[in-house]
Amino acid sequence: MPTNFRLWSPEFSDQGKLSLDHEFNGFGGNGQNISPRLEWENPPADTKSFALTVYDPDAPTGSGFWHWVIFNIPSDLRVIEQNAGTVSTQLLPSEAIQLHNDYGFAGYGGALPPVGDPPHPYQFVLHALSVERLDINAETTNAVARFLMSSYVIENAMTVGYYQR
């Protein structure tokens, strides 16, 4: 039964624009590659952990692009701080695991649609899970982790930010 599970960022409105802070710095991007602060409320009562994914379905790869994948987020957490996607900041709880994004490194890889494309949607999805942790480590591919997660999802909350270069 759906709840009022809700995810948002104080840095962009749902369906609003991401900023240069959130753009990748590399592959022709000049952004700051800073992950936004995310907040949520009203997860399902039986939530035992969370996972976060950030995905661009419009990336010209044939399969979209995964920008950020985190697992084993404790169930009592309600905020992911700005720049937590930079692994060296250690802003996430120690049990949380940031997997490799499609850029090839662990943590947040910012928005980087091709120049001239219409705005791309960046789907920030918080997954409420029925297990305390997935039996994965930092070397697990994000595809395998997402597959393992799929049978434990209770409910999802999503906010979308758009970006264009």
pLDDT band at 3 (very low <50, low <70, confident <90, very high): confident
- Domain presence at residue 46: yes
- Domain presence at residue 158: yes
- Domain presence at residue 39: yes
* CA-to-CA separations, 53 to 68, 135, 165, in angstroms, rounded: 5, 17, 22
- Domain presence at residue 95: yes
Q: What is the pLDDT of residues 35-64, one digit of tens each?
A: 999 999 999 999 999 999 999 999 999 999
- Domain presence at residue 116: yes
What angle is formed at CA 16 by the lines to CA 23 and CA 74, rounded to 5 degrees?
75
Global pTM exceeds 0.95: yes
Q: What is the pLDDT of residues 118-145, one digit of tens each?
A: 999 999 999 999 999 999 999 999 999 9
- Answer yes or no: is pLDDT of 2 > 70: no
- Domain presence at residue 1: no
Mean pLDDT within 67-93: 98
Q: Check which CATH number belongs to the domain holding 112 and give it.
A: 3.90.280.10
Q: How many structural domains is the chain composed of?
A: 1
**Structural domain harbouring 63:** 6-163
